[in-house]
Structure 1
Amino acid sequence: MKRPVAFQLLQSFRSSEIQLFHVFLESPAFNRRQEMPLLLDYWRQNRAEPPDARAIFKAACPGQPFRKQDYYLLLSRFHKLAEQFLAWQAFQQNEQAHYTHLLQALRQRQQQPLFQRSMKKARSLNKPQDNHAADSLHFAYHLEREQYDFIDSHDRTKPTNLQQATDLLDAYYFAEKLRQTCLAHARSVINQETYKIGMIPAIEAEIKKRPSLLEHPAVLLYHACYQAVVVTGAQRSFQLLRQYIRVYKKGFPRQEIRDLYLLAINYCIRALNFGDTAFAQEALQLYEESLKEGYLLEDGYLPESTFSNMVSLALKLEYYEWVEAFIGNHSDKLKPAFRESLPWYTSAKLAYELGDTDRVLQLCAKIEARQPFLYLGTKTLQLKVLCEQEEWDAVDSLLESMRVYLQRHKDVGYHREHYLLLLQFTRRLLGLIPGDLSKIFELAAEVETTKNFREKPWMLRQISKKVKR
């Protein structure tokens, strides 16, 4: 029997939340159905067992005859209460939401002294020097809106705070739109997703007319990110973004700073892909800084892409001892599914850079690569070694397996172009006749001028061998 949706939700609860949910169900303020605490007790005692509809119903509704419609209604009500509990818990933990609703209730009840006292407390929660996020601007706007409604309901001749409310709403909206634009741009580059984000030209024009908007760190930081990542790609814009992250990161939620670090890192990696090798050091510094401060961990795990990218950057910088230490110190932070395969793969990359081709092939043979980046990365290492060893039959077979894989897997994003170019150039390399200088120089020139191909130095070395013969 399929596990009820409500029980699936309960599986995500911590033990402390289960206890609090029981108190919630026992409270007449939230629930007056006696069967609900009994149902929770049954689940706690039998959570590991396959669900039994009749046993569940009997435990929650003793003495009542089992009917399917009653059973499904029981589960539906229980699920609704579980969702209400989560919403209530989130509300209890959100002081800003508490004051937003409290102020509205006090204003509607004409409780002027209590409204003013609560407004003072609410404003104290939103100190600009401590909280730079766009959400703080949104909360400040809500406070000004409640203040306006309060003034308007008591004395319509009195000057209002509409200007402050409007300015805060503009700042919040501009910061959020710029943030969404940066995230959408990154997704479009990495995953080939398409987004249409409106109003950005108007926001840019408004910021030029009203530079005071940049006094809000959320607007300042996301405007700098937009300029660096989406618009110009200029190093000056990137350095401003780097500076603003360093200055203001303590005032933003961890998730937002994580996104900003990744956007800055993506800028560096794109610059690297276009041949600007100076950004390898900058990208690795950003990774180290954000990892040290815990921004890059997701649910306590180090993402496999982060692990792999850091190794690639360090190898590019020839930090071989650093790579060996990094693999040893951080492999246990990977998700269980990657704790063997990814360290083997990155160790194989290190072995290749050190010239130990036998170890490269040994490690690659151990890797069970289900993820595209791991499969294609492993095959690329094998391809390079086999080309250098002039095992042309094996190279031909490997190229065909990679071609078939790329044909079947469309989910490799912008990396797809690189791998297709690798296959194309390697095929042409196999067809070169040693000493045929016109064909050799033609291929070398094409490789040299092709963008988004990350194996240029290696491919050019292979081509040059054809000249020397």
Structure 2
Amino acid sequence: MNSTKLLQILKTLDPGEWEKLYFFLQSPYFTQEKVSPRLFTLLHPYFADSAAGLPKAETLFQALWPDQPFDRKQLNYALSRLNKLTERFLVFQQLEQQTDRQQLTALEVFSERHLEKHLAATQRSFNERLLPAPDEKDDFYLVRSDYADLLDQHYVRTKARKQDNNIQLATDDLDRFYYFRRLRYACSMLDRQNILEANYRIGLSQAWLDHLEGSTLVEEPMIGLYLTIFRALQEEEQEQHFRELKSRLLQLVGKGLAESLAEPLLFAINYCARKIRAGQEAYVKEAIDLYHRGIDSGLLLQDGQVSPWTYTNLVKLTLRLQQYAEAREFISKYTDLLPESFRENAHNYNYAELLYCTNEKEKAQEYLNRVAFSDLGYYLGARVLLAKIYYETDAEEALLSLLASFTIFLQRNKQISRNLKKTYLNFCQLLSRLLRTEPGKTGKIIDLITHTQPLTDRSWLLALAQEKSRT
């Protein structure tokens, strides 16, 4: 029973969806057979009570067909029918939320049936929804192009003898959609290449970019924004691209583009993260500023919750600037806004970071031991934090063992990008070398720490090397 597609899909339903599915199955418009509603009613109590075990196949069959001998094939058919109806319900529910697409379909139907009054009323309603710039849905330009295309089809269908500009509007918005979506894909490819082991074919030639920059399309706020993101990702050494990106973001915040700006904001934050790993400390304040603006504006909140990655990154950056009171306040304020499944893990890891920074190393280890390292980010960060604690508490044997096992893990793990892997391998190698370096002879290792790219916790390693040079 547990392996059936039906049970897997039913596990994803929330209480509200169970109720809606019940009424869906009762409607003869969607199904006229009687077994599926009964089967649904029989299964519901087992999903409502997580402690209750699912019934055996024989028990379920007997409840459905009390006068018949058990037939596995007949039961499987019933499970399959209910699964298909549940799939149809979820699709129908998703379509119900797509108001724009519903109205476009309505326009097509009314035009084909020559229902001019219905078409005019729907057209007025649709016009009220159209904005001069994209709202939170990334297919805004395509919706607007399809709208103009439907009006052009109606123009052709009615054989009107007057000038109509909808075919031009459909073409122009289709161009906007193409360039907008193409730039988004290219930016995502460039960004992912810096995180994952990937080698995408970006496919945007200089001629393509020159054509875009020479057209009026760049005057569209989101197209201009993504072109700036692309330049910033493609030419990261040209820091004026980041300044332009941040300026454009701040101008658009609060203009009704909330969800559309969440992705560009994350591109900007990831840019800062790469600069920080390259040793450019000025980008720590930039990243903190972007995170706070994202949280305060709601751009980095999902259903009122802050993601564990946003939470962790902001704490780490705040600690990096030794803003301990601010970090403690942030942890206290935002822990309850974390998704429940991540809350304990994220709190323990980040509170351990804070305790370490405030010289409470034993307590920090206690909180680290409570962290379940189910996430790669937590695992990598925790290994570095433990290494620092072992070094500072003179636990040399534990430190050597940790560095050896951590190095093997990094070398063998194929899910970590080359750049990120190198960041942590460089840390392990430099710390190991520092342990072997005699006091007073750290000039070469200081130079290596200063110039090695990329590297995590560079300032900590430099402080150790400089302290050792004085002994």
TM value normalised by structure 2: 0.88
Instruction: Give 1:346 shift.
Output: 2.5
Aligned counterparts of 1:168 and 1:174: Cα–Cα separation in 2: 10
Superposed CA deviations along residues 234-259 of structure 1, whole A, max 9, x for unmatched, are 44332333233334345667554322
Between the aligned partners of 1:116 and 1:301, the Cα distance in structure 2 is 41
From 457, 460, 468, the counterpart of 1:458: 460
CA pair 456-72 structure 1, distance change in 2 beyond 3 A:
same
Indicate whether 1:182 and 2:184 are aligned. no
1:162 aligned to 2:167?
yes
1:92 equivalent to 2:96? Answer yes
Give CA deviations for 1:112-161 in whole Å, capped at 9, x if unaligned: 44334433332222222673644221111001111222222332865453
2:151 aligned partner: 147
The residue aligned with 1:37 is 37
Letter in 1 for 2:129: L
Separation in 2 of the partners of 1:167 and 1:63?
66
Query: Equivalent residue for 1:467?
Result: 469
Q: Give the Cα separation in 2 of the matches to 1:459 and 1:84.
A: 58
> Structure 1 residue 61: deviation in Å?
4.7
2:324 corresponds in structure 1 to 320
Matched position secondary structure for 1:190: coil
8 Å Cα contact 1:119-1:143 kept in structure 2: no
TM-superposed CA distance for 1:356, in Å, is: 4.0
Conserved 8 A contact 2:111-2:119: yes
Letter matched to residue 145 of structure 2: Y
Shift in CA distance, 19/196, structure 1 to aligned 2, threshold 3 Å: same
Which one of 214, 217, 233 corresponds to residue 218 of structure 2? 214
Distance 1:20 1:277, change over 3 A: same
Amino acid at match of 2:231: Q
Residue 71 of structure 2 is aligned to residue 67 of structure 1: yes
1:12 alignment counterpart: 12
- The one-letter amino acid paired with 2:184 is R
Quote the Cα distance in structure 2 between the aligned partners of 1:64 and 1:428: 77
Q: Distance in 1 between matches of 2:87 and 2:379?
A: 41
Tell me which moved more, 15-24 or 70-79.
Answer: 15-24
- Would the aligned equivalents of 2:423 and 2:455 in 1 still touch at CA under 8 Å? yes
Encode CA deviations 1:358-404: one digit per residue, 9 max, x unaligned: 44445445545343333332332232233345443333222222223
Matched residue pairs, number? 465
Alpha-carbon displacement from aligned partner over 1:408-458 (angstroms, at most 9, x marks no partner): 4333334311211112112222222334x4xx3222222211111122222
Specify the code of the residue in structure 2 equivalent to 1:459. Answer: L
- SS of 1:433's partner is coil
Deviations 1:79-131 (A, max 9, x none): 11111112222222222111221222223233344334433332222222673
Matching residue's letter, 2:337: K
Taking a change above 3 Å as real, the CA distance of residues 376 and 25 of structure 1, as seen in their structure-2 partners, is closer
Q: Is the 8 A contact 1:57 1:66 kept in 2?
A: yes
CA offsets, 1:238-288, max 9 Å, x none?
Answer: 233323333434566755432222111111112222222222112112112
Pick which of 121-130 and 256-265 moved more: 121-130
Checking the alignment, whether the CA contact within 8 Å between 1:133 and 1:252 is kept in structure 2 is no
- 1:156/1:65 CA distance change after superposition, 3 Å: farther
Alignment of structure 1 residues 45-124 onto 2, 5 Å: 45-47=45-47, 48-61=52-65, 63-124=67-128
**What's the CA shift for 1:301?**
4.6
- Secondary structure of the structure 2 residue equivalent to 1:191: coil
CA distance in 1, matches of 2:2, 2:459: 56
Q: How does 1:280-429 map to 2 (within 5 A)?
A: 280-298=284-302, 301-336=305-340, 338-413=342-417, 414-429=419-434
8 Å CA contact retained: 2:273, 2:287: yes
Query: AA paired with 2:175?
Result: D
Q: Distance in 1 between matches of 2:369 and 2:247?
A: 44
Whether the aligned pair in 1 keeps the contact of 2:197 and 2:416 (CA below 8 Å) is no
Aligned to 2:202: 197
Give a deviation string over 1:313-369, Cα, whole Å, max 9, x none: 111222110111222222333345544444333333333333444444454455453
The 1:344–1:89 alpha-carbon spacing in structure 2 relative to 1, beyond 3 Å, is closer
**Counterparts in 2 of 1:141 and 1:366: CA distance versus 1, 3 Å:** closer
Is the alpha carbon distance of 1:44 and 1:367 closer, same or farther for their aligned partners in structure 2, counting shifts above 3 Å?
closer
Alpha-carbon contact 2:308-2:343 (below 8 Å) kept: no
Q: What pairs up with 1:201-280 in 2 under 5 angstroms? A: 201=206, 203-210=208-215, 212-232=216-236, 234-250=238-254, 255-280=259-284
User: Measured at CA, do residues 38 and 391 of structure 1 come closer, stay the same or move farther in structure 2, by a change above 3 Å?
Assistant: closer
User: Where does the alignment leave 5 or more consecutive residues of structure 2 unmatched?
Assistant: none
Q: Distance in 2 between matches of 1:231 and 1:158?
A: 50
The alpha carbon displacement at 1:198 in A equals 3.0
**Structure 1 alignment gaps of length 5 or more:** none
Question: Equivalent residue of 1:310, what SS?
Answer: helix
| Deviation of the 1:208 alpha carbon | 2.0
Given that residues 197 and 415 in structure 2 are in contact (C-alpha distance below 8 angstroms), is that contact kept between their aligned partners in structure 1? Answer: no
Kindly indicate whether the alpha-carbon contact (under 8 Å) linking 1:2 and 1:51 is maintained by their aligned counterparts in 2.
no
Q: For 1:336 and 1:121, how far apart are their aligned partners in 2?
A: 40
1:287, 1:310 within 8 Å by CA — same for their partners in 2? yes
Is the contact between residue 174 and residue 203 of structure 1 (CA under 8 Å) also seen in structure 2? no
Paired residues of 2:138 and 2:260 also in contact (CA < 8 A): no
Match of residue 26 from structure 2: 26
State whether residues 132 and 217 of structure 1, in contact with CA within 8 Å, keep that contact through their aligned partners in structure 2. no
Counterpart residue type for residue 383 of structure 2: K
Q: TM-score, normalised by structure 1?
A: 0.89
CA distance in 1, matches of 2:3, 2:136: 43
Partner amino acid for 1:29?
A: Y
Q: Cα distance, 1:196 vs. partner?
A: 2.3
Query: In the alignment, residue 289 of structure 2 is paired with which amino acid?
Result: Q
1:433 matched residue in structure 2: 438
Q: Which SS does the other structure have where 1:73 is aligned?
A: helix
